[in-house]
Amino acid sequence: MRIAILKLSALGDVIHALPVAHALRHRFPDARILWIVEARESLLLKDHPDLDEVIAVDTRKWRRRLWSPGGAREVGTELRRSIRRLRDERFDVAIDLQGLIKSGILTALTGAPFRIGFGSRRCREALNACFTNVRVVPPPSRIHVVDQYLALLEPLGVRAPRPRFHLPSSPEAEQRIEEFFADHGIKSRDRLVALNPGAGRPGKRWPLSHFRALAERLSVDAGARIVLLWGPDEEALVREIADGLTVRPILGPRMSLTELAVLLRRCALMVGSDTGPLHLAAALGRPTLGLYGPTSGRRNGPYGPTGRAIQSPDGTMAAIQPEVAFRTAMELLP
């Protein structure tokens, strides 16, 4: 059997889908299993033991280049190459976990006769259902998105698997983070707390003043050493949080996903909004506190017994008070 998993992006969503690969491999040990994913997120799947291959596509670049001089020809060439690549695999099954029109088109392009996806009302874009022929509506008991993804495997006879997350690691990443810790005098006994103020959308960001207040309480009252994490175009955010703190925090380095995973494994707690690094920490089994405003903490919160989500009372991030976050953090800290 040849199986295609389609979960293109973003980082947190791909992390939530990781148990699907393990469940399929456990049920079909001799199957050829491939994952179709955006190029930027493909590093998360590097050397995954349950996957035979990862097919990276770059729809973001295609959209950027389409209207540029010569861009349409370039995009057309890459698209035709991708189509041939998908068709050459002769997939038997394609599982669309994304629920978007673009993932639906790629699902159809696999040529798989058995194309599984969500029912139209559960798709992020209802037209996605036009590209699948086996449509699943997860029962109300499947609240979290991880469990909803796993529900799509039931037509294949995979029922209620135990979710397992495989995440990348490497000796090189371990060495770099050890050097970073040594440079900042971080000891194994230190109570390390990671704060991640960034988010994919401004409406999902907790106010920086709230993060600063939480960092102050955790440093002074809990004796924690604070590491401020940042991604592309976010360094100014963490520097603004650091300004005015009585205990100097540690600014995290520019890191690969593998290095971030190594750092998070050493943390006693991770605090952030609904974003990739938060879900990475939860998948690693670390104590994790998620802050949720416009998105649902019940559906998208840190998955597993070590995670907690605080839901805003009015849908805005500013309504989550630092004192509430501090009390919850103290309940999670070992």
- pLDDT tens digits along 211-230: 999 999 999 999 999 999 99
Residue ranges of domains in the chain: 2-156, 171-332
Q: Do domains 2-156 and 171-332 have the same CATH topology?
A: yes
**Residue 148: pLDDT over 90:** yes
Question: What is the CATH number assigned to the segment(s) 2-156?
Answer: 3.40.50.2000
Band of pLDDT at residue 331, cut at 50, 70 and 90:
very high
- pLDDT score recorded for residue 59: 84
- Predicted model pTM: 0.93
**Residue 279: pLDDT over 90:** yes
**Residue 72: pLDDT over 80:** no
Q: In what order do the strands lie in the sheet with 134-136?
A: 53-57, 32-38, 2-6, 93-96, 114-118, 134-136
In DSSP terms, which residues pair with 271 in a beta bridge?
195, 289
What distance in Å separates the CA atoms of residue 165 and residue 258, rounded to the nearest whole number?
14
Band of pLDDT at residue 62, cut at 50, 70 and 90:
confident
**Residue 101: pLDDT over 90:** yes
Joined together, the tokens standing for residue 228 give 């401020």
Q: Which CATH number does the domain 171-332 belong to among 3.40.50.2000, 3.40.50.10490, 2.70.150.10, 3.50.50.60? A: 3.40.50.2000
Burial of 90 (0-12, 13-18, 19+ CB in 10 A): exposed
Band of pLDDT at residue 77, cut at 50, 70 and 90:
confident
Identify residue 250 by its one-letter amino acid code.
I
- pLDDT score recorded for residue 180: 97
Band of pLDDT at residue 309, cut at 50, 70 and 90:
very high
Determine phi and psi for 6, rounding to 5 degrees. -115, 105
Band of pLDDT at residue 183, cut at 50, 70 and 90:
very high
**Residue 79: pLDDT over 90:** no
**Residue 109: pLDDT over 90:** yes
Start-to-end CA span in the chain (Å): 45
Mean pLDDT of the chain: 95
- For the chain, give the percent of residues with pLDDT over 70: 100
What distance in Å separates the CA atoms of residue 122 and residue 142, rounded to the nearest whole number?
12
Contact present, 4 and 95 (Cβ < 8 Å)? yes
What distance in Å separates the CA atoms of residue 155 and residue 157, rounded to the nearest whole number?
5
Contact present, 46 and 188 (Cβ < 8 Å)? no
Per-residue pLDDT reduced to its tens digit, 85-98:
999 999 999 999 99
In this structure, the chain runs to a length of 334
Joined together, the tokens standing for residue 94 give 């394609």
- pLDDT score recorded for residue 81: 86
